[in-house]
Structure 1
Amino acid sequence: MSGWAGCLFGLIILVMGLYGCAQKSVYYPSRNTKIYAPPSQKGTQRPYTVYGKTYRPLKVAHGFVQEGVASWYGPKFHGRRTASGEIYNMYELTAAHKILPMHTKVKVTNLENGRSLIVRINDRGPFVKNRIIDLSYAAAKRLGLVGPGTARVRVESLGSWSPEIPGIFYVQVGSFAIYDNAIALQTKMRQKGFVHTRIQKFEHRGRTFWRVHAGIFKTLAKAQKIKTRLELKFPNAFIIAD
């Protein structure tokens, strides 16, 4: 092989080697890296099933209010891909929710200490019983629930408005430590025409409560109309999305 041919051959081998290394490289985001996928809803609004239960994400969610237990997730998932396609960064103010549209901004208030902040939904979950939202480490730290691990919160959507959001909605009209009191209210609500009123068991910090949900309503607009009516007798009533 001539000298120039040998140089050319060596150059080809070098380029191939560099290409191979590039193909095998793995990128891990640093603490301060922000990686956002385009704010697309493609593929994130289809119904999906986890642990045998099917969830139907909302298309829009202005007016959505929910109360329940929040948890958080951190190092184990840092750097992994979320349901929205983004890379999860535990130091950003994001959260996972089972049915809210991706990229919806929500105000989360810790009802145990009064702290609140705004986070963006970019993942699905939590799929643990009696939990309604999974916060990033940064969000959980600001709300004061990293230590205890969970806290009772209110989630309020700041997204776009559509009165005919379809789904399965209830209006919570009571929460009782005594089961018989919940039964009494359920019976009363059914007599008033809310034939699908249900009772759900709720456990928080070692205590058991029985929640009474009047329903069922097929659109958010209908649920809000009934909520306004029920607030005259149940001032703490709020909407539950199933």
Structure 2
Amino acid sequence: MKPWWSILCAGLLLAGCAGDGGKRPTQEAADGAASSGGAGERYAMSSDAYPQEPPDVSQVPDAVPRPEPRSRAGNKDNYEVWGKTYHVLSDASDYERRGTASWYGKKFHGYATSNGEIYDMYKMSAAHRTLPLPTYARVTNLDNGRSVIVRVNDRGPFHSEREIDLSYAAAARLDILDRGTGRVRVEAIDPVAWQARQGGASAPSSAVESRPADQRPAAQDEGRDSDDPIYLQVAALGSPDNAQALKDRLEGTLSQPVRIASAAGLYRVQVGPLKHAGQVDPVRGQLSRAGFDKAFVVNGAD
């Protein structure tokens, strides 16, 4: 199921929705099937909202562009939502648009995005109707000049006047939370060209599957000391309840232990410790079949 984007009540809680036209569709609709309604049954909240005690997201780093294959989910050539057909671009080259950005938050936090990842409102991610998933994009607030780089991994907003739906963290950094929407420019980024301009540097990404600074590629893990514990990180969430729910789900799917490592207001759900590096690929395969195909190796001390 894919979230329904819903209107917030007028008053102190301002967010990126402005009426029924901004609702988010079911997962089936986002993947091209007919929207069947009833999506609200999946969510504990009927309306979106600010987090009650949000961590400071002013220093959340931009997503770092890197080459990635197209997601297996959420990338049908055409799909229909509320009687309107959308055409997913074959690639994001030279994409640049100006329009209105909205944001989505607590209601959808911890639930699956269109490409099967877990939405974390404290990460630099976004939803778009037609960009391939994933796509990296620079979003600039045209009123104050602030810009962020986000990783598009979701579909929406299905409101004719909206260009992009931002995560809570991205909206906060662009200073559009209180107004709920903002005028923005969206520019797709070519990860290969971006890395070339950065001199080949590849800093950690702040998207859902973002890599901590001390993460080492799987190939290097073959040479680890056998006493150095190995973990596969599945998600980093801002809510302990959502992290616990994901941990419970993984424990019901995998034969491996699962832990939650918390630090700086984030709760990292990690599978392990694995007994040896040879278990990495088999466990990663199990996670992929369960819908978590972006797990990565982290230092056991994290």
With normalisation by structure 1, the TM-score equals: 0.49
**Largest Rg, 1 or 2:** 1
Which structure is higher in strand share? Answer: 1
With normalisation by structure 2, the TM-score equals: 0.40
